[in-house]
Chain A
Amino acid sequence: MKRIITILVASVLVLTSCSKEELPTPNQVNVVVQTPEVTPNPPANIPDLGAPTEAEFAALPQWTNIPDNVMEQVLIDRGFDNILDGKVLTSKISKITGFDSNDGTIMGQYGRMFERKDIHDFTGIENFISLQFISFWKCPISTVNIRNLKRLKILGMSECPITGTIDISQNTQLEEIGFQNAAERCDDPTYPFGKTLGLTSIDVSHNLKLKRIYLACNRITSIDVSMLTNLEEIYLGGSAWQSYKVGGGNPIQRLDLSHNTKIRVVNVEACNLNYLNVKNNGILDRCITIYNPNLNQILVDNASAMNAVAQNNPVTYRKDAHSVFVQ
């Protein structure tokens, strides 16, 4: 037993020390197929965080500075504040969850209250410690400090003028990240997302609860999701525009989903892939890989089955003619 444990520990160390650069290149695909699959150990269990404790609330300052007048006005309009004076009682905002009710109803008016507002400075958001859902859609911010929002399950930052990355390492409860820009505008030269704006990278290695990743129309060149064993859906390409518009993906070349055994939806439309591995996932519900001119092979468990499904489901399975399923 001790020997087995030693081997397992050694395997984990080897696995965790692998970098993306060590993934096989496309012309080494056969080697990968013939190598016994090594499944990483399940990630450390991340406990669900309940509501903040009284101690956490007590540790907050009585007042929270809100230097952005537009942000404070939103809080006033929503009844969390009554005087535009650059501050708000922390007790008024620290229990906002973003949901409408305790049952997880998500159409949350409070989670969306900052959307499309001309808020440049989200100082103060750090004391919204109960937030489980927040959307900054179309807010003119290139970054935001959400490190203190440890209960956050759903983060929306679509069409925020991000120029680099966003730190989500402390948001370990995240189940969905939405950085999806408007792929249907990919051919609009005045639309900057995916061209001069948008994520260039995102580190999800601490977000082991992620189920859904929406990243269409950004500038990401690589992403490692191998540790996300709960991941069900990944959108690196757009799913939003008509077929005559080509673009809106990410300039990513390699994507290995072979460790994400719960994956049901893969959308890598109009990326720049030359390597895609969806093995260990059986038959996907949706697999959209079209407009990847360099993607000649898609590694799957059962090529004939995937071909059958693709032929029968031309809407939910879209791929280039030159991309073939191989196992």
Chain B
Amino acid sequence: MTLIYSGAISLGAIADEFGAARSNVSLRSRSSAAGKGTPDAMSEFYGYTAPKAAFQHGTTVNGPNQTNSSGTLVTYKSNVLITLKCFGGTSTGATAYATYWINGVGTAQTATAPQYGMQYASINVATPGSRTAALSIYPGPTGASSSQYADVVAS
């Protein structure tokens, strides 16, 4: 995903590039997330490609005894060791010791219909790279900001 090399660039387009919501987009925050200093300018984003998460959206959280034949998480499981490869740590706006919702695909333990589970954990993302943490996996909660999403894979 790459922002256009010429013409007008809007904050909305920049937000899209980061996979962030279009509302309340701050140029400074996006510039900071892109590792750019001040002064800020929209032109800094010509041809900019936000670092991709290490795994595609929709990556299934796989792990022993947690998946069906399709690799889909089917039950609650605690202490699942997953690796979060964040968008690049502080240089791209991740916050150290922040709580990040992590996408997974699963079936709620108590849900009446399949839900798409999310999990959370406090993971140190102060520096770029991958982090591992033992997580508990729960069915999809509410209130997670999509900008906080990250993709995960079990390790």
Q: Enumerate chain A interface residues (CB-CB to B < 8 A).
A: 106-107, 112, 115, 133, 135, 137, 154, 156, 158-159, 176, 178, 180-184, 212, 214, 233, 239-243, 264-265, 283, 285-286, 288, 305, 308-309, 311-316
Contact = CB atoms under 8 A, between A and B. Distances in A.
Interface stretch (B7-15, B90-98, B121-129): B7-15
Contacts, number: 111
A305 B9 CA distance: 32
B56 A285 contact: yes
A137 B19 CA distance: 26
A184 B8 CA distance: 10
Contact of B4 (A115, A180, A184, A283): A180
B65 interface: no
A175 to B, nearest CB: 10
A212 B118 CA distance: 33
Given A233-B2, A285-B57, A305-B58, A182 B19 contact: no
B8 A158 contact: yes
A159 B46 contact: no
A305 B71 CA distance: 12
B149 A135 contact: no
Contact of A159 (B7, B15, B52): B7
B4 to A, nearest CB: 5
B21 A315 contact: yes
15 contacts: A106-B5, A106-B47, A107-B43, A135-B7, A137-B7, A154-B6, A178-B5, A182-B10, A239-B13, A243-B22, A285-B1, A285-B52, A312-B58, A313-B19, A316-B19
Contacts of A180: 4, 7-8
A315 B7 contact: no
Nearest to A214: B4
B105 interface: yes
Contacts of B1: 233, 264-265, 285-286
Question: Which 8 A-B residue pairs are closest in the complex by CB-CB distance?
Answer: A156-B6, A158-B7, A135-B6, A240-B10, A309-B58, A315-B146, A137-B7, A240-B12
Interface string B41-71: 0010011000010001110000000000000
A107 B147 CA distance: 28
B116 A178 contact: no
Contacts of B6: 112, 115, 135, 137, 154, 156, 158, 178
Contact of A316 (B2, B7, B8, B57): B57
Contacts of A316: 16, 19, 57, 146
Nearest to B103: A312
Interface string B125-145: 000000000000000100000
Contacts of B2: 212, 233
Given A112-B6, A178-B5, A283 B16 contact: no
